[in-house]
Amino acid sequence: MSNVSICGIAKSYQPDVPVLQPIDLNIPDGELFFLLGPSGCGKSTLLRIIAGLVKPNCGKILFDGEDITELPPEKRRTAMVFQNYALWPHLTVFENVAFGLRSEGADKETVKREVEAALAVVQLSDFAKRKVTSLSGGQQQRVALARALAVKPRLLLLDEPLSNLDARLRDEMRCEIRRICKEKHLTAVYVTHDRNEALSMADRIAVMHNGVLQQVGTPQKIYGKPRNSFVAKFLGDTNLLRTEAGLISIRPECIRIGDAGEVKAELVSGTYLGDHSEWVFCTEAGEKLLVTEYAPPPRSAGETFFLSFDESRKVLLEE
pLDDT: which is higher, 234 or 183: 234
Distance CA 145, CA 244 (A): 51
Domains and CATH numbers, the chain: 4-224 (3.40.50.300), 238-316 (2.40.50.140)
pLDDT digit string (tens) for 86-132?
888 898 999 999 988 898 888 899 999 999 999 998 889 999 999 98
Task: Please determine, for residue 1, whether its predicted confidence score (pLDDT) is greater than 70.
Answer: no
Residues 225-236 have a mean pLDDT of: 97
Residue 15 has a CB neighbour count (10 Å cut-off) of 6
Residue 306 is predicted with a pLDDT of 95
pLDDT digit string (tens) for 235-251?
999 999 988 889 999 99
Task: Please determine, for residue 141, whether its predicted confidence score (pLDDT) is greater than 90.
Answer: no
Task: Please determine, for residue 69, whether its predicted confidence score (pLDDT) is greater than 90.
Answer: yes
Percent above pLDDT 70 for the chain? 100
Residues 255-282 have a mean pLDDT of: 93
The full 3-state SS of the chain, as one line of letters, equals CCCEEEEEEEEEEECCEEEEEEEEEEECCCCEEEEECCCCCCHHHHHHHHHCCCCCCEEEEEECCEECCCCCHHHCCEEEECCCCCCCCCCEHHHHHHHHHHHCCCCHHHHHHHHHHHHHHCCCHHHCCCEHHHCCHHHHHHHHHHHHHHCCCCEEEEECCCCCCCHHHHHHHHHHHHHHHHHCCCCEEEEECCHHHHHHHCCEEEEEECCEEEEEECHHHHHHCCCEHHHHHHCCCCEEEEECCEEEEECHHHEEEECCCCEEEEEEEEEECCCEEEEEEEECCCCEEEEEEECCCCCCCCCEEEEEECHHHCEECEC
Task: Please determine, for residue 57, whether its predicted confidence score (pLDDT) is greater than 80.
Answer: yes
Task: Please determine, for residue 136, whether its predicted confidence score (pLDDT) is greater than 90.
Answer: no
Task: Please determine, for residue 40, whether its predicted confidence score (pLDDT) is greater than 70.
Answer: yes
Local confidence band at 166 (pLDDT 50, 70, 90 cut-offs): confident
Percent above pLDDT 90 for the chain? 76
235, 44 in Cβ contact below 8 A?
A: no
Residue 76 is predicted with a pLDDT of 92
* Entry pTM: 0.91
Task: Please determine, for residue 205, whether its predicted confidence score (pLDDT) is greater than 90.
Answer: yes
Residue 317 is predicted with a pLDDT of 96
Residue 262 is predicted with a pLDDT of 85
